[in-house]
Structure 1
């Protein structure tokens, strides 16, 4: 079937596969729990793709390409260090390409989501960033319509940027990192109670716990700082927010906007950047990562 593309978002807990027609409309979507380890990831990716194609009434071989977004370091179709999936090294493009004889493109999941957000929600802009606020924190960057990976493939790993030398110590042993402030794992690390998560912290903050309230304020500061870093370093037209923490909705964005308002009141230059206007949450029902993965073929080369 001419122009059909398949996109897959491999997450830490689930796989989301979509089949797109030549215009980019979703013909079918299939989601299931992800398997762990090299074998588990391949097997459940195969199951998700073949189920989505069956729902669309096509065979996998009818597709022009298959794109996969997956956590970890990705180079030439090989995934490395996807620790939350139990993957040390996996030639995912090779394994799937051999099975189906269809071109397979593999990309870091945040980069794939950035491409999907730009296509779906970019409104004709030349550039965008996708800031993922989930278990960790990282950004995917689209400049002039193409994913920007950087010289070593680490563009957008802004979670390692320290914004306070006296801030909380992160898992890397360094203080004040953006990921420590503004991710689920960072909130849980700062909270320090076994078995309690970032969601626990927010619930406690709403209930009036003063320690949790400090961490909630730190989260808003961390998000505002991440937006500031992206605007000052890359100046994208828009910054799309995704990941589990965006379920907080206005509580999250309103808090971050209040921090930015304080900065802008003190600095006419920062005020001129319109940071608050550039920031929005991706709608939860939009499979931007899977759709961005489906568009990887056009973004390579």
Structure 2
């Protein structure tokens, strides 16, 4: 990488970790870092500042020399104001992330919903056409939507928040204030509740534990599969995507579980005929 060229930072702030890269004008990726995300408004700002400085140190340049910083973040994003709202898995109710980080660092900062950004990237890299839904199974559950090559964010940036579809009011409360949201069964945060034996990263070991005969792991895995299938079904009857891409940390549940999602969808389709 030519460090004398214009270098920018791409950053993904997640509920568990923050990952970032340095990229030049030619799309060449340089240094990468991953750190735990600190919760809350100040915690998220400090995490972002720390990552920028770490990348500057690894690249061998001054932090102020980066051309721009692009950030993907969960929650409702106002791109014009650079503000994120209701990012419950970050402990954020409202944070003017872009202007505040820009003020602290002197850099140009832009903001988008993390899953929308991932949907744009997947559509481009996989050369997909037609309606595309990118379903993110991570700390939370949400979807990014691309229609005819353009991201569809909807009014107030809320399009694709399928994790907060309340499907059963008798189920667990969700941090959003509702009960029985899909995110309460099909997400990393849900797995910690249903299967605490999995530790901080239950998705990494869930399938193996279920296969080894752990009944709680098997139950949590089934809830995850059914919840993910429910999210895809909701997208299917609303935007009718031609392609569905599954991403996020929980994609590591493995091919058999992905096949389980397909089987659930096929079964529901047969029942509705």
* Number of the residue aligned with 2:239: 234
Poorly superposed stretches of 4+, deviation over 6 Å: 192-197
The alignment status of 1:183 with 2:187, answered yes or no, reads yes
Q: Is the 8 A contact 1:246 1:252 kept in 2?
A: no
* Number of the residue aligned with 1:34: 37
RCO comparison, higher one (Cα < 8 Å, 6+): 1
- Equivalent runs, 1:80-229 vs 2, <5 Å: 80-120=85-125, 122-163=126-167, 165=168, 168-171=171-174, 172=177, 174-175=179-180, 177-190=181-194, 205-210=210-215, 212-229=217-234
- SS across alignment from 2:213: coil
Residues 194-230 of structure 1: CA deviation (Å, up to 9, x unaligned): 9898558756533435565344333222222222222
* Number of the residue aligned with 1:43: 46
Q: Is the 8 A contact 1:141 1:156 kept in 2?
A: yes
Question: Structure 1 residues 196 and 61 mapped into 2: Cα distance closer, same or farther (>3 Å)?
Answer: closer
Question: Structure 1 residues 82 and 179 mapped into 2: Cα distance closer, same or farther (>3 Å)?
Answer: closer
Question: Structure 1 residues 188 and 129 mapped into 2: Cα distance closer, same or farther (>3 Å)?
Answer: same
Question: Structure 1 residues 111 and 124 mapped into 2: Cα distance closer, same or farther (>3 Å)?
Answer: closer
Q: Is the 8 A contact 2:116 2:143 kept in 1?
A: yes
The alignment status of 1:66 with 2:41, answered yes or no, reads no
* Number of the residue aligned with 2:264: 259
Structure 1 unaligned regions, length at least 5: 269-301
**CA apart distance, 1:148:** 1.8
- SS across alignment from 1:68: strand
TM-score, normalization by structure 1: 0.72
Question: Structure 1 residues 180 and 36 mapped into 2: Cα distance closer, same or farther (>3 Å)?
Answer: closer
**CA apart distance, 1:49:** 1.8
- SS across alignment from 1:236: coil
**Aligned alpha-carbon RMSD (Å):** 3.4
Residues 70-121 of structure 1: CA deviation (Å, up to 9, x unaligned): 233332112334344444433221122224444211122222222232333x
The alignment status of 1:16 with 2:19, answered yes or no, reads yes
Question: Structure 1 residues 20 and 38 mapped into 2: Cα distance closer, same or farther (>3 Å)?
Answer: same
TM-score, normalization by structure 2: 0.78
Question: Structure 1 residues 5 and 204 mapped into 2: Cα distance closer, same or farther (>3 Å)?
Answer: closer
Question: Structure 1 residues 227 and 201 mapped into 2: Cα distance closer, same or farther (>3 Å)?
Answer: same
